Structure 1
Amino acid sequence: MTVRLNAISIVVADMGRSLAFYRRLGVAVPADADGQPHVEAPLPGGLRLLWDTEDVVRSIDPDWVRRGSDGMSLAFEVDSPAEVDTLYAQLVDAGYHGERQPWDAFWGQRYAVVHDPDGNGVDLYAAL
């Protein structure tokens, strides 16, 4: 048996708002996807990022409830430490919640953390 990670799925309250956030991070989301209940976008390396509305998830599991997402985050690499600062500022200025302002991490990266519209942690980083 061969097992491969093929997709990462995000449950969203507002598809258009979530897709706008991920477009700002360079994810190639189809332009006409904002009103769809399920959306997929290819990522470099063959992975896919998937979005489903809460209604879609409840159609599969009527007892589903949002329980938060403190145990997992997505990490997006940029080319330079200055780009971490710029992207973080752009996202916060656009109204997204900045959890942790950019800092120089002891492991050798410029790092910052923001939340997507559904409260999922999104890390931004670049090598120092």
Structure 2
Amino acid sequence: MELQLAMVLLEVRDLDASIAFYRRLGLDIPDPAGERPIVIHRMGSGVSLLITTQFASAYDPAFERPAGGYQQLLEFYVGEDALVDAKWTDLTSAGYHGRLAPTQTAGPYAAMVDDPDGNVILLTSDEAAAPGD
């Protein structure tokens, strides 16, 4: 069996703020079920995005939030260049921190914006990131 990326888990400070961000990004994030501080969205690619406030902190006694900077980027394929521009404008106009305005990089046309916890979201029109059929 080939190893597959099944889920990306984000340990966040404010679940509601994160849900609002990822919905604005364009994901159909559900409401949390009951009192559980967790939501899961399965994307067409098969990878799930799990957002929670209490997984790593509950099960890893050595868990510490990064003090600064970022350690990863989450790339979201949004389609053509104009859609990268539109999503960047929508998110930064809503007050989210823009890290890199839309530009042609050495690779894809891309932009970067921070989610509420400082996770860097890479918006691209890179066909290599498009979900397969």
Question: Common fold, TM-score beyond 0.5?
Answer: yes
Fraction of identical pairs, as percent: 36
Distance 2:94 2:106 in 1: 29
Deviation at 1:43, TM superposition (A): 0.8
Deviation at 1:76, TM superposition (A): 1.0
User: Which letter maps to 2:116?
Assistant: P
Structure 1 stretches of 5 or more lacking a match? none
Which residues in structure 2 correspond to 1:29-68 (within 5 Å)? 29-30=29-30, 32-33=31-32, 36-53=36-53, 55-67=54-66
Normalising by the residue count of structure 1, what TM-score does the alignment of the two structures yield?
0.85
Query: What's the secondary structure of 1:46's corresponding residue?
Result: coil
Structure 1 stretches of 4+ moved >4 Å: none
Distance 2:126 2:58 in 1: 42
Shift of the 7–64 alpha-carbon distance from structure 1 to 2, 3 Å rule, reads: same
Normalising by the residue count of structure 2, what TM-score does the alignment of the two structures yield?
0.82
Distance 2:70 2:97 in 1: 15
Structure 2 stretches of 5 or more lacking a match? 128-133
Distance 2:112 2:52 in 1: 23
Shift of the 106–84 alpha-carbon distance from structure 1 to 2, 3 Å rule, reads: same
Work out the number of aligned pairs and report it.
125
Computed over aligned residues only, the root mean square deviation of the Cα atoms, in angstroms, reads 2.2
Query: What's the secondary structure of 1:44's corresponding residue?
Result: coil
